[in-house]
Amino acid sequence: MSGLSDIIVQLAIAIVPLGVAYLAFRSATDANKKTQQTALQQAERQAELERSKVDAEAFTRAKTIYEAALTQMEQQVARVQSQAEQFSTDLIAEQTTATAMGGQIRQLQAQIRALERTVAALRAQLISAGLSPVPASDPTGPFSIRRSPRTRFSE
């Protein structure tokens, strides 16, 4: 029995390094898996970081474009407001001029009516004094005027 117990002891002693080797292999395999998982997680984080950088750069470019467009729109609005103010000023000036001209036209029309009455009265005076007014066929004479409905005299 001593030989059998020696073999069992030797087998037990031989199994211990095999168990330790198996445990070391298992630990190394687990560590390798964890290292791969960590590397994969780091790669994913790096990829996410790169995507974030790309997104940040795209956002910065978009913001720059947006701000430039906004600045241009603000400038255009300022120009339009300036033009509207100028148009408003011009419109007020035109309205003032039109009002003044309308007054002058009414004044001139009143003067024309007064002159027509004066001409008709002078014509009547000439005819009643026995004088003949200038014939309308005279190219150097006065232009013919319309007769006032109150005069019944003929030329």
What pLDDT score was predicted for residue 36?
92
User: Of the candidates 141, 143, 154, 155, which has an alpha carbon nearest to the alpha carbon of residue 116?
Assistant: 143
Q: How far apart are CA 123 and CA 134, in angstroms?
A: 10
Residue 103, classed as helix, strand or coil, is helix
Q: How far is CA 66 from the centre of its chain?
A: 13
- Which residues have C-beta within 8 Å of that of residue 119, sequence separation ≥ 6? 145
pTM tops 0.85, yes or no: no
pLDDT of 106: 96
Tell which residue, 147, 123, 122, 144, has the closest CA to residue 135. 144
pLDDT tens digit at each of 155 positions of the chain: 677 888 887 777 878 777 888 888 888 898 889 999 999 999 999 999 999 999 999 999 999 999 999 999 999 999 999 999 999 999 999 999 999 999 999 999 999 999 999 999 998 888 888 777 766 555 555 444 444 455 444 44
